[in-house]
Amino acid sequence: MNKSTTNILRILLMVGLQVLIFNHIHLFGFLNPNVYLLALFLLPLDIPKSAQYAIAFATGLFIDIFQFTYGIHASACMIFILLRPYLMYALNVNKKKNDTEVPIPGKKDFRWLLLFTLLMTLSHQLIVTMLEVFSFRQFHHTLLVIFANTLFTTLLILCMEYIFIPIKKQNL
């Protein structure tokens, strides 16, 4: 299987999982993890940026269609893709320019991955929730939703990464 087929299948799988399973999880009434972000985390960095944006838009819009929030997830996903290389560059210790290696377990250590996933998920969740709520009333509740969802999503994404991605032994 070549690389593009793998990616497309992964995106379809993650979107399907999100729509069929994770959209129906409403823990404590507001916890609703956006696990489909894993597909965007694992999207290769070396394909053209416009293609990345288009993929993110399509993915987000697909999620939107099932949640009746047309445009919100699409917008958040594109900003996610926009931020990804900059955050990777900012978090890299050796400041290697044009790092196109997808950060997965085995390539990066756990602490790096945790911080990266946390920040990326937070940015996505922030946009989604703020666009959906669109008000600063009861802001503490909005913040609670944002942070709880971020933590939950991060937990699930890291679990899935460590469970399903085979770690090739490398010298870190």
Partner 1 sequence: MTNLLDFLKRYFHVLTFVVLQVVCIVLISKTMNYPGFAIARATKVLTTPVNRLCYGVVRHFNFNKENQYLVQQNLELMNAQESNFLISSDSVTGVEGDYTDTLGRTKRVRLYEYTSANVIYNTIHKKNNYLMIDKGSEDGIEPDMSVLSANGVVGVVSDVSKHFATVISLLHPDCQISAKVQPANQLGTITWRYGDPTSVYLEDIPEHLNINEGDSVLTSGYSNIFPSGILIGTISEKSKNPTASFLTLKVQLATDFNHINTVYVVRNLYREELETLKSNMKEDE
**Site residues (CB under 8 A) for partner 1?**
48-50, 52-54, 57, 60, 64, 68-72, 74-75, 78, 82, 131, 134-135
Shortest separation between residue 69's beta carbon and partner 1, angstroms: 8
82 vs 165, beta carbon nearer partner 1: 82
Shortest separation between residue 50's beta carbon and partner 1, angstroms: 4
Burial of 76 (0-12, 13-18, 19+ CB in 10 A): buried
77 vs 156, beta carbon nearer partner 1: 77
Q: Beta-carbon neighbour count of residue 156 at 10 Å?
A: 18
Distance between CA 63 and CA 23 in Å, rounded? Answer: 9
Shortest separation between residue 135's beta carbon and partner 1, angstroms: 6
28 vs 68, beta carbon nearer partner 1: 68
Which residues have a Cβ under 8 Å from the Cβ of 83 and sit 6 or more positions away? 120, 123
Distance between CA 166 and CA 118 in Å, rounded? Answer: 22
94 vs 135, beta carbon nearer partner 1: 135
Shortest separation between residue 67's beta carbon and partner 1, angstroms: 11
Q: Helix crossing, 72-91 with 110-133: angle to 10°? A: 150
